[in-house]
Amino acid sequence: MITYLYWTVVVLLALLVVVGVGARLGRPKAGIGGALLILALASGAYTFYFQQIFVKRWGGVMTISVPPGQRHIAATWKDDNLWIENFDPATNRCIFSEYSRGNLLEGRVTIKDCNPLAR
């Protein structure tokens, strides 16, 4: 999948910097520093930009856990943000949670006296 391809390319690029700068030019500290910089930038780019785009558009990988005591009802995309609907039987509420890029701007909507499991 695209997520695995992304990380494979990032790791290969970091190794190339370690070998190219560290071994060939005789500057191992610069090679390791460059590789760590590449890994840090790639991690930030993935977390804050690419993760949900990969999942939505190209079949990437993403894992979200349902909070304890809640039951999952539905999931939907709004632009590039994922909205999850869960039901909390203890409080009889439906909770819509937004998972945005980098988890910076997450929305949450709670509907009181919601019982979607009743017939």
Q: Are residues 51 and 81 in the same domain?
A: no
Q: What is the mean pLDDT of residues 8-31?
A: 88
| Residue 90: inside a domain | yes
What pLDDT does 59 receive? 78
What is the rounded radius of gyration, in angstroms, for the C-alpha atoms of the chain? 21
What pLDDT does 119 receive? 57
Q: Are residues 96 and 50 in the same domain?
A: no
Give me the number of domains the chain comprises: 2
Residue 99: give the domain boundaries. 71-111
Q: What does the H/E/C string look like for 79-112?
A: CCEEEEEEEECCCCEEEEEEECHHHCCCCEEEEC
| Residue 63: inside a domain | no
| Residue 117: inside a domain | no
Q: What is the mean pLDDT of residues 92-110?
A: 79
* Distance, CA of 79 to chain centre: 15
Statement: residue 4 has pLDDT above 90? no
